[in-house]
Chain A
């Protein structure tokens, strides 16, 4: 039996390496072709131009008609027991409500019945209910016999505890007409009751002014521009971003999946255009269409809705629906460029996975579902531009634009660098992903097989490799996150003692993180040790990992404090977590270290820096492995503040795992960090005098001394520099072997040897 490596030269990328820099002329050429091609496509034109131009006027017309219908549709009301109002102020006229209760424009059809018309033959309740249910009347007002008498207030009845007389109002919540009619009748009845009260007070000699001892005058101090733009500043960015997403999807599918389906992509790949040139050209075209769709839709909506609102009288006071100021709207267009590019790059990368346009639509829907919350988040009440929100992709830019539209320039400029940095980083990652998709031949040409469960299971078993595949790594991460999510839901009450808390830690760690990892590593790979990256690294890395864990901890604590300041934890969450801190403080130290440091360090590292990292780092995807593993690791921590800190730590642990090729140094760093976190309070309150050099006790709890933070940071940086000098050991682990019959030498090596 012969064994040949699947990749003789693992440094080779999937596609031919190209040293040439992208040429602007080639990018422009591809861009122009794609633009022309898309503009010749009726479906694209319909989506980006015809639809917005026609859609909003059509919807506006419909709204106008609905508004008109609502006004013109008569409300049918039945009053039963009109004779019982004889002693009360007049509510009813001859065939309608009394004058003053209804406006001239209100169309009300009122049918009045006396109570005695029913009691002879009919049951009032059953008939009135039936009338409302079958729509004979929108509402029925039932005034019971003796109503007027019982409303007479005498000295004797006041405070006697007798129930106030009531008028029944029957309506149907399932009918919009009935609800509208109910609101109208309630308004009339409240008006009637108010008049009645005033009349009685006047009769009793009470001054009406006692009812209104003071007035409240509300003054909106917002600048006129802000008031005018109040609605648009929320609505327009939302509309534009949603349309920017939608506008990117169809061209992205057509330019990648469509080209694959038609076979023209292969033709283009054979041309001298570099992959990067193709990606940039297509990305520019998709971005252009994304922006055009957003601008045309927002513009059309703006014009139409302003006209419609004016027609139906909505916002007639001019406080919230004035035309948005022009200059800030230009900011919105500027912000649209990077966001459209971001959506386009994501859409392009996802579309590259699809073999056909139809398949592309299936793939892009989940992308939209993931991105939509980032667009919806700024619409939540109370969400404003802050350091915390500006760090969130898309949301930060949304809020920045809102601040600009509202004229809050100082706040916008203050947060501008963060928002730009985050957006640029996301755009770079998305573009990089799209480019990698175009360089991956399994993405461009693979996936031709018809998927079958039996075949797939057989394939998993038969083609097991020494380490996980990227897909298996993603699956493992997803399984852990879903299991932890449902595990948290299963916890119905907080632990009352340390034993119960221990179970709350041990079950997720062993049952929901380690067990799926070990199961997948055993079932899907041929080597448990290699798939979990359990290998002895260079011995110097082990003590240095402990040192790194110790010296990084002050920075980690500072980071956690900054995160808590930026994203404050709610009182409820803080209260829920307080018992944990108290139990940890009172439990035996060794038990706490075992539970909170050793167990998570082993279980989480084997899962995240072992199996998942090992799968993701293949095919030379080092950055992907570090970032994705860190994100999965962070999300697994559940609480947002912890997740952010854990993600940052995850990046470092991933990098160390990459440099050392082993899961062990990460375990040591993780253990040291957690052990210090749970021991810091004990250290600060211990009798050891030397502790004061490092830690001090403040009102908020133990804190590192500034001197130690500086020294520790310097030592940590030195350790990191040392890790940086280590040779990347990824390739050693990656060389999966396949079995063939017969020895094979590396011809490239032999030829190079010959030529030398």
Chain B
């Protein structure tokens, strides 16, 4: 459902000059799977997700969402993706109902279908209590629920959560994670980016650990633990990060930081075969992509 290969993004920054925010990142996410992007702040998670949602353009590499290229078929991609960011940004002068309705209309949903969809969505997310409350009067939790409803209104096959639990209280965050699980159970393809390890441990089927624009390793939690012979996930995470930083500091040892820890099997991009084409994915949402 999502296929990313050698995705690279180079910025020209006043402080750092030209720097590679995302460096040849490759991964695949299947339908009915929650893929976790774990990394500290500045690891490049948001940049990857923004490229997937077509808000940013990659410098090089390929990213396919539901079989469509984010670079050349962005409109098609946006019709099939829902994006929830961490800033809970909603319009201050629109009510919850108006906002979700507006985005449903932008997705071209007929009014009657949209009305039914909104009713069920507001019921599902328990938003009826504040459906007529304007954005400026909403709490952070309410705003996040509206953001989720906005992302789900057109029932997209792919949903992206970018540090969606940031700033939420425990109860709201727990509810959000519960919603994400139910979406997975409904066969959606989900990417969940965070820097909170406990959320990844509890939620994600597979994890990619990112640091300084690179994916250091990818796999299920068990795979990672076995591969690195470390049961404590926090230790595993920090161990990977510190080894990567050390390798970057000492590149003259003949140790290529590209290859230093990345498991060649888990990091290898999937071949672009017939299973990745749009027609196959559209007709067979559950079809295997590898």
Contact = CB atoms under 8 A, between A and B. Distances in A.
Nearest to A278: B106
A12 B17 contact: no
A16 B74 CA distance: 6
Interface string B130-150: 000000000000000001001
A189 to B, nearest CB: 66
A446 to B, nearest CB: 8
A13 interface: yes
B117 to A, nearest CB: 16
A747 interface: yes
Contacts of A272: 75, 78-79, 106-108
Nearest to B151: A270
Contacts of A19: 75
A267 B150 contact: yes
Contacts of B275: none
Given A17-B71, A17-B74, A266 B55 contact: yes
A459 B10 contact: no
Interface string B59-80: 1111000000011111101110
Given A29-B106, A456-B14, A263 B61 contact: no
Interface stretch (A92-100, A670-678, A748-756): A748-756
A20 B73 CA distance: 9
Given A17-B72, A456-B14, A270 B55 contact: yes
B85 A274 contact: no
Interface of B: 5-6, 8, 10, 12-15, 17-18, 20, 24, 50, 53-57, 59-62, 70-75, 77-79, 81, 83, 85, 87, 89-94, 102-103, 105-108, 147, 150, 251, 256-258, 271-272
Given A267-B89, A270-B83, A449-B13, A12 B57 contact: yes
B20 A455 contact: no
16 contacts: A16-B54, A16-B77, A17-B74, A20-B75, A37-B93, A262-B91, A266-B55, A270-B78, A271-B106, A272-B107, A442-B12, A449-B13, A449-B15, A738-B18, A748-B61, A754-B271
A214 to B, nearest CB: 72
Most central of B75, B77, B79, B85 by chain A CB within 10 Å: B75
B71 A16 contact: yes
A37 B74 contact: no
Contacts, number: 135
A441 B107 contact: no
Nearest to B89: A263
Interface string A721-756: 000000000000000001011101011100100110
A120 interface: no
A562 interface: no
Interface residues of A, number: 56
| 3 tightest Cβ-Cβ pairs between the two chains A and B | A16-B74, A263-B89, A747-B6
A441 B72 CA distance: 16
Nearest to A271: B106
B106 A264 contact: no
Given A6-B18, A441-B56, A747-B5, 20 more contacts: A5-B60, A13-B57, A15-B54, A17-B74, A18-B74, A29-B106, A30-B106, A41-B93, A264-B90, A267-B89, A269-B54, A270-B83, A271-B106, A449-B13, A455-B15, A456-B14, A747-B6, A747-B61, A748-B62, A751-B62
Contacts of A87: none
Contacts of B92: 262
A8 interface: yes
A264 B18 CA distance: 28
A233 to B, nearest CB: 40
A742 B74 CA distance: 30
B21 to A, nearest CB: 11
A715 interface: no
